[in-house]
Copies of this chain bind each other. A is one copy, B any other.
Amino acid sequence: MARVKKKERQELLMQTVKEKPFLTDEELAKALEVSVQTIRLDRLELGIPELRGRIRRMAETAQNKVKSIASGEVVGELIDLELGRSGISLLRVTEDMVFARSQIAKGYYMFSQANSLALALIDSPLAVTGVANVKYKVPVHVGEKLIAKAEIVRVRGNKYFVWVKTRNDTQEVFRAKFILVSLGES
């Protein structure tokens, strides 16, 4: 029976890592109700890199696809990119991103993350921002990992309507709607 349980557990691990690639070993252990050591051994057997390695691997693949801006110009780490459709980026909130007085992250970091991710989705050699409507839902603090997910929801001529939703570990903290304009010939 132990063998079956292990197989099931490893399948569940693979599934979980696929759906939530940004969980640490500790968080995976909690989700699967096993020890951290079990997660590490399972990862080793299955050839799943640790979190940092997973992010690096995803980032390399994603960054090679960006066309409309230079990939280094994406604020945060570009983790996933389906050009012309959707993308994901990760931004760690550090000391230098918060207001000294309130210790709350400056709003334009979330804006920059979302805006540059939205631009990265555009399958054109050149794109600029036309309009942005954004909403800050919860104050963000040092140490939080912000995952922004962007999606092109509509294309009209050279105008791209892109929605971005940004979450920390527990909830949505920010959302944005952009109208981007492609200036280059495709």
At the interface, yes or no: A112 with Cβ under 8 Å from chain B? yes
Q: With the chains together, A183 CA to B104 CA distance in Å?
A: 12
Q: With the chains together, A116 CA to B183 CA distance in Å?
A: 29
What number of A residues sit within 8 Å (CB to CB) of B? Answer: 30
Name A70's closest neighbour in chain B (CB-CB): B100
At the interface, yes or no: A42 with Cβ under 8 Å from chain B? no
At the interface, yes or no: A64 with Cβ under 8 Å from chain B? no
The distance from the CB of A164 to the nearest CB of chain B, in whole angstroms, is: 13
Please report which residues of chain A, range 105-134, place their CB below 8 angstroms from some CB of chain B when the two chains form the complex. Answer: 106-108, 111-112, 115-116, 125-126, 128-134
* Copies of this polypeptide in the complex: 2
The distance from the CB of A111 to the nearest CB of chain B, in whole angstroms, is: 5
Q: With the chains together, A102 CA to B73 CA distance in Å?
A: 12
What are the residues of chain B within 8 A of A133 when measuring CB–CB?
131-134
Q: A101-B125, A125-B101 are contacts. A106–B73 as well, Cβ < 8 Å?
A: yes
At the interface, yes or no: A69 with Cβ under 8 Å from chain B? yes
A108 touches B115 (CB 8 A): yes
A131 touches B136 (CB 8 A): yes
B128 touches A100 (CB 8 A): no
B106 touches A132 (CB 8 A): no
Known: A70-B100, A102-B183, A111-B111. 14 other contacts (CB 8 A): A68-B101, A73-B99, A75-B108, A106-B112, A106-B116, A108-B115, A108-B116, A111-B112, A130-B135, A130-B136, A131-B133, A131-B135, A131-B136, A132-B132
A and B contact pairs by CB, cutoff 8 A, 14 listed? A68-B101, A69-B99, A69-B101, A69-B102, A75-B108, A102-B183, A106-B112, A108-B112, A108-B115, A111-B112, A111-B115, A129-B136, A130-B135, A131-B136
